[in-house]
Amino acid sequence: MKLLDNYGRVIKDLRISVTPRCNLHCLYCHPLGFEMAEPPGTLTVEEVDHFLEAASLLGLSAVRFTGGEPLVRKELPQMIERARSKEGIEDVAITTNGLLFPKRAKELVQAGLNRVNISLDAITPEVFTRITRGGKVERVLQAIETALELGLHPVKLNAVVIRGMNEEEVVPLASLSLDRPLHMRYIEYMHLDNSDPEEYRRRFVSGKEIRARIEAVFGPLEPVPHDPTSPARVFRIPGAMGTLGFINPVTEPFCSNCSRLRLTSDKKLRPCLLTDLEMDISWAFAAKEPVEALVDAILIATNRKPAFGNTLPTLRKRVMLGIGG
């Protein structure tokens, strides 16, 4: 079956945030530098299992575990196993900063992990350390090597581009796609950190500018066919093994093809990343028949999915860290 919202969009992708905690403090995601303890009521393995069962009954076919940093949850392999056990769920992925990935990669793959997105906002060590407030890029590069060695495919790399921080990293990052099957993704900076609106505008770099920087060095990029529900416009440097993707939610919104629902670690179901609309579905997890109740909750959230998100600078009830990637 297919789950359709009120605008005829097929809802097939889940993002499940399993923790608000992270072992980095990136400026755009964790702007205040505060520690996030695991709050009471954080999703358990059994609750994730119930939610995935309900989602699979409704035809959702892909799940990505996010955080915070999902690898700080020791139970992540069990969650991946539960996802792989559901009929119809064909794609199980994680988004990670990579720091813990080399240590935990084999258990994740054994549990059924299909693929990985690794955050890499800069390749120059000093720039990476400044953006992440203490991170070491060498550890992320090791994570990328590990993912390739284990045969995960595709290995996608995510960079949020912010003026004054890492716009000069755009070309060096693109070079990673030349002789290896790596898929670099450039993401427009969204106002999900409650930063000063004027400061946000000064720091914003459009996908068009990012692409122009790359083409000034490598020449015109070649378009690559891709899933129309994917947020990335995908291209290739001529002759490259990997690809480059541009995710432009601000200047080229892709709301008309959005196929996603997001579950936060504190049991809020969000039908749209770029609005504050969310449903507390803790009642469904606590129901006598939780799978049936969660089916109802997913149907209600799908029915409430708005046509468009708000990309303008707005005071958000949650910053990105609390929503999940």
Residue 308 pLDDT class (50, 70, 90 cuts): confident
Q: What is the pLDDT of residue 33?
A: 45
Distance CA 171, CA 164 (A): 15
Does residue 315 surpass a pLDDT of 70?
Answer: no
Does residue 56 surpass a pLDDT of 60?
Answer: yes
Residue 143 pLDDT class (50, 70, 90 cuts): very high
Residue 249's nearest CA partner among 295, 195, 204 is 204
Q: Which residues pair with 63 in a beta bridge?
A: 14, 92
The string of DSSP letters for 85-148 reads TSTT--EEEEEE-STTHHHHHHHHHHHT--EEEEE-S-SSHHHHHHHHTS--HHHHHHHHHHHH
- 157's enclosing H/E stretch is strand 155-161
Residue 142's nearest CA partner among 183, 177, 97 is 97
The whole model's pTM is what?
0.93
* Gyration radius (Cα) of the chain, Å: 19
In words, the CATH class of domain 13-323 is alpha beta
CB atoms within 10 A of CB 110: 11
Per-residue pLDDT tens digits for 235-285: 999 999 999 999 999 999 999 999 999 999 999 999 998 788 899 999 999
Phi, psi angles (nearest 5°) of residue 202? -65, -35
Residue 35 pLDDT class (50, 70, 90 cuts): very low
Per-residue pLDDT tens digits for 151-180: 999 999 999 999 999 999 999 999 999 999
Q: What is the mean pLDDT of the chain?
A: 92
Q: What is the pLDDT of residue 276?
A: 81
